[in-house]
Amino acid sequence: MGRKSDGNNSGGMSSAFNLLFSLLIIYGLMSYFVYSLVHMKFVKPLPLDAPLHRFSEARAIQHIRVLAHDIPARQEGQPGLRQAADYIKSQLHLLQDRAGPDFRIEIEETSINGSFNMMFLGRSISLAYRNHTNVLMRISSAVSQEDDPAVLLNGHFDSPPSSPGAADCGSCVASMLEVARLIVDSGWVPNRPIIFLFNGAEELFMVGSHGFMKTHKWTKTIGAFINLEASGNGGPDFVCQSGPGSWPSLVYAQSALYPMGSSANQDVFGIVPGDTDYRIFANDHGNIPGLDIIYLIGGYYYHTTTDTVERLLPGSIQARGENVIRVVKAFTMSTKMRNAYDRESHLVDEGIEHERPIFFDYMSWFLIYYTRRQAMVLHSIPIAVFILVPFFLRLSHLGFWCSIAMFGDFIIGLIFHVTGIILAILVPIIFSIVRLLFVSYSMNWFGNPYLAYMMFVPPSIVGLLIPRFVWRSFPLCQDPSKVNSSAEELAGEARFWGAFGQYALMTLGYLVAGLGGGFLYFFFSAFMLLAWFSFSLSIKSFGRHSLRSAACYIVPLLPCILYVVYFGGVLIQFLIEKMGMMGSLPPPYGYFIPDVIVAAVIGAVTSLSVGPLVPVIGNWLARSSIMQFLLHITVVTLALSSQLFPYSKDAPKRLVLQHTIQTDAGQIIDSTFDISVLDSNSLVFLFKHAPGIASELEIGPDFSLETADLSSRERWMMDWEGQKLAEQLMQTMLMAFALVAFVTGYLLGSFETVLLIYAAGLVFTSLVTLPDWPFYNRHPVKWLDPSEAEIHPKPQFDSTSAKRKASNK
């Protein structure tokens, strides 16, 4: 096995920094473009006087103002919910009065009662309800039949406690009213009925949609549905779930003006602790094909008093309305529409498999769609190319064993690339944990999302470059003299094809696992081949060490990189906003979990967006000066971020106050108020920075979680097993250190290296679980006594909550 230089020292230092800053400008421009796209800067809202045959955001906002501001408190048990139902009915009757003779419009208000069982967050819960209100309208042609398959458009008009509910879900109701107006005023008579369900009890575990599905006569006629929901104040209107079957997403792909969504969303949505009415219609009680369309951006305002009209992102409702009316029209004309009776006899639609398809939008310009059967062929091509290339290049003139040696180099290149990706995720995690050991609170990036990128992107790039920096000489299996190539050329090929092999394996892995996100790796594999072809041609003109050759490699990959910046940017923003309501895990690990999760996700996105470039640009960037520069940026940013407060007016800290009354034989035997936080900054942090709350609860400055009157977990809805999850996370970190140590030691042939790296990982992991440091007199992590593990509340709330009995008031 030869060890030759791969040209890592070629080129000047200035060329390396020129390349680094050029890439910084490229990614910066991409990020700005994606920010503008996600915040709907390219969608023009139509005004109040827009043509009647067009959807108008301004007209929809008029409805939102009435629902969210003129009508107070649209919660069950509040008069505002009744007023909202009356307002919706009045608007529907106005449409009915001015509809032409070709329309048949039916309006109903129903009071629903029922009960059902469901699994929620891993627990079985039973719900019983009565006297909840739904408002319905059915628009059809005058000659339609009662059993004609219909399209259901669903949105809820109730809102969470204390929230005006402008986005969630006043925007959904307003969009539906404007779509109904458009249908009537434009004179378009649908050839299939359209049912508008304004349900009044979604926030109470979706009982409104359940009551409709179990009691209403129209449910058996529904052939497809669209569920509108909001988890933020606007932005892209993503298709987060689709099915059963593949044809709903195909209809969406063919008809939406601003297609937004991907099959990868459904991979992630299953682990998000929440549900929508889509579950009732498509899974639990209907098996109806449909789409779940959700606002994801702006989660800071979700379920808070700040969910107001002023917070809505301009252009979001316009894009939603334009999409919905087109998709509704496409559904009514689809030959796949069947009512419940016909659907039972057609488990597989003609020509389209009854399986989850692969689809994704490209910057909301267009949507690429292909079936699972087509994916079986397409997603198998990259791994076939990876395996066959060595034999194609070597077998005919150098023989079988030279082909095997070349494939061995590819495998080593793959190991190097995978090691870099692991380190790209692991290094930011390490920096995040080390920072938290020396500061008094976490989540500094919560109110300032840009900080998360500044804190974790540079160390992630360092992690990607570490294998190239450490192993300056590539351990070749081939003999350069036999293949008539330089060691530098062979090492470059091995690094590229190793990276290609990693993406090929990921493409195949997603396919075998039945997940929908494999398209990302597939298209990276395809564009990497194009980039390598361009780079190979440029070498003949400019040489291997020219920045022009590097540019010829980078440019073909820009479309894929732009998509990763778009997809990853939305994912990270959504994740950061939801960290404020994920709940606080029990100590000792709960303090670290949000920062670790954000660091890991940013590391993964960075490895995906920069990783395909490393086989070529690593030749310039894997230098000590570049690595030191990135590490200096990391340290400075981490230090500065520690001085910033995690929360702001636009990104507040969430609290929960729960009043619990215990009764026995009709007598109140105990009454308590439990206060809890929803993130990793505990009640100690809360009482320190919000002394008004501590004063109201009669909590003094000597408050300590160790001596506080803690709530029993029975007072909350469910138990939390996050302790076990956190322990498994730390065990995974140890295994990652062991893997890196083994690979490094094997390639260097040094057993001492294995011991050194693993010992460092063991020491680092142990540091975060030691007792108080005598010289610091504080340690942010403490072991949780097993006997105390049973007293912490549910995952939505803090793992330690203060309790005050009403009798002490």
List, for residues 436-457, the tens digit of each pLDDT value. Answer: 888 888 999 999 999 999 999 9
- Quick check: 679 and 443 in contact, CB under 8 A? yes
CA nearest to 158, candidates 121, 222, 112, 118: 112
Which residues have CB under 8 Å from 520's CB, separation 6+?
A: 264, 360, 563, 564, 567, 608
Nearest to 478 by CA among 575, 553, 407: 407
Task: Give the pair of three-digit tokens for residue 31.
Answer: 């990020």
- CA–CA distance, 588 with 705 (Å, rounded to integer): 13
Per-residue DSSP letter, 345:
T
Length of the chain as a residue count:
809
732-739 contacts at long range (C-beta below 8 A, 24 or more positions apart): 733/426, 733/429, 733/761, 733/765, 734/761, 734/762, 734/765, 736/422, 736/426, 736/761, 737/761, 737/762, 737/764, 737/765, 739/422
pLDDT in tens, 461-490: 999 999 988 887 778 787 777 777 888 888
* Residue 314 · residue 233 · CB < 8 Å: no
Cα distance between residue 578 and residue 574, in whole Å: 6
Alpha-carbon distance 320 to 314, whole Å? 11
The reported pLDDT for the residue numbered 5 is: 40
Question: Using one digit for the tens of pLDDT, what is the confidence trace for 115-170?
Answer: 988 887 777 888 899 999 999 999 999 999 888 999 999 999 999 988 999 999 89
- At 615-643, the pLDDT tens digits run 999 989 999 899 999 999 999 998 888 88
Residue 655 has pLDDT above 90, yes or no: no
- Domain residue ranges in the chain: 2-38+379-641, 57-371, 655-808
| pLDDT band for position 181 (cuts 50, 70, 90) | very high
Q: What is the mean pLDDT of residues 184-206?
A: 94
The CATH architecture assigned to 57-371 reads 3-Layer(aba) Sandwich (3.40)
Whether 332 has a pLDDT exceeding 90, the answer reads yes
- Does residue 772 carry a pLDDT above 50? no
pLDDT of residue 770: 41
For residues 139 and 194, the answer to whether their CB atoms sit within 8 Å is yes
pLDDT band at 720; cut points 50, 70, 90: very low
List, in sequence order, every beta strand (DSSP E) within 336-458: 358-362, 366-370
More confident residue, 42 or 698: 42
212 or 715: whose pLDDT is higher? 212
Q: For the chain, first and last CA: distance in Å? A: 79
Distance CA 467, CA 415 (A): 10
What pLDDT is stored for residue 643 in this prediction?
86
Is the per-residue pLDDT at 774 higher than 50? Answer: no
Mean pLDDT (whole number) for 270-275: 72
How does 392-413 read in b/e, with b if 16+ C-beta sit within 10 Å? eebbeebeeebbebbbbbbebb
SS3 for 14? helix
Q: Are 291 and 239 a contacting pair, CB within 8 Å?
A: yes
Contacts of 605 (CB under 8 A, 6+ apart): 564, 568, 571, 572
Contact between 202 and 210 (Cβ < 8 Å): no
177 Cβ contact list (under 8 Å, min separation 6): 60, 63, 88, 91, 92
| pLDDT > 90? residue 351 | no
- Look at residue 509 and tell me whether its pLDDT is greater than 90: yes
Name the DSSP class of 164.
Answer: -
Q: What is the pLDDT of residues 521-536, one digit of tens each?
A: 999 999 999 999 999 9
Q: What is the mean pLDDT of the chain?
A: 84
Under a CB-based contact definition with an 8 Å cutoff, are residues 579 and 594 in contact? yes
Which among 652, 651, 653, 670 has a CA at the least distance from the CA of 661?
Answer: 670
Peptide bond into 552 cis (omega under 30): no
Identify the DSSP state of 365.
Answer: T
Cβ pair 237, 323 in contact under 8 A: yes
Quick one: how far is CA 702 from the chain centroid?
A: 40
Q: Average pLDDT of 680-702?
A: 80
Neighbour count for residue 641 (Cβ, 10 Å): 18
The pLDDT assigned to 782 comes to 39
Per DSSP, the three-state class of 322 is helix
**Confidence band for 754, pLDDT divided at 50, 70 and 90:** low
- Eight-class DSSP state of 698: T
Q: What helix, strand, coil percent values describe the chain, rounded to 5?
A: 55, 15, 30
**CB 508 within 8 Å of CB 456:** no
Q: Residue 162: what pLDDT? A: 85
Q: With helix as H, strand as E and coil as C, how does 699-748 read?
A: CCCCCCCCCCCECCHHHCCCCCCHHHHHHHHHHHHHHHHHHHHHHHHHHH
**Residue 802 burial (C-beta neighbours within 10 Å; 0-12, 13-18, 19+):** buried
Question: Which residues have CB under 8 Å from 766's CB, separation 6+?
Answer: none
Task: Give the pLDDT band of residue 591 (cuts 50, 70, 90).
Answer: confident
Q: Of the candidates 371, 618, 354, which has an alpha carbon nearest to the alpha carbon of residue 498?
A: 618
Please report the pLDDT score of residue 780 as a whole number. 40
Nearest one of 646, 728, 273 to 442, comparing CA atoms: 646
Q: Using alpha carbons only, how large is the chain's radius of gyration in Å?
A: 29
Query: Residue 796 is encoded by which pair of tokens?
Result: 């939505």
Q: For residues 498 and 503, give the distance between their C-alpha atoms in angstroms, rounded to a whole number.
A: 9
Element (H, E) at 533: helix 518-542
Residue 265 banded pLDDT, cuts 50, 70, 90? confident
CA distance linking residue 551 with residue 36, whole number of Å: 26
Contacts of residue 239, defined as CB under 8 A and 6 or more positions apart, other chains included, come to 249, 252, 260, 261, 262, 265, 291, 292, 293
Helix (H) or strand (E) holding 126: strand 123-141
Helices 614-621 and 449-470: crossing angle in degrees, nearest 10, is 80
Write the pLDDT tens digit of every residue in 39-74.
999 999 999 999 999 999 999 999 999 999 999 889
Determine the Cα–Cα distance for residues 184 and 95; give it in Å rounded to an integer. Answer: 7
Q: What is the pLDDT of residue 438?
A: 85
User: Is residue 565 within 8 Å of residue 520, measured between CB atoms?
Assistant: no
Give the CA distances from residue 635 to residues 348, 428, 576, 596, 748, in Å, rounded to whole numbers and listed in that order: 57, 11, 21, 17, 29
pLDDT category of residue 742 using cuts at 50, 70 and 90: low
The total of other beta-carbon atoms located within 10 Å of residue 211's CB is 25
DSSP letter for 797, please. Answer: S
218 exposed, middle or buried (CB, 10 Å; 0-12, 13-18, 19+)?
Answer: middle
Nearest to 534 by CA among 622, 616, 445, 604: 616
% of the chain residues with pLDDT over 70 = 83
The Cα diameter of the chain in Å comes to 93
For residue 697, pLDDT over 70 is answered with yes
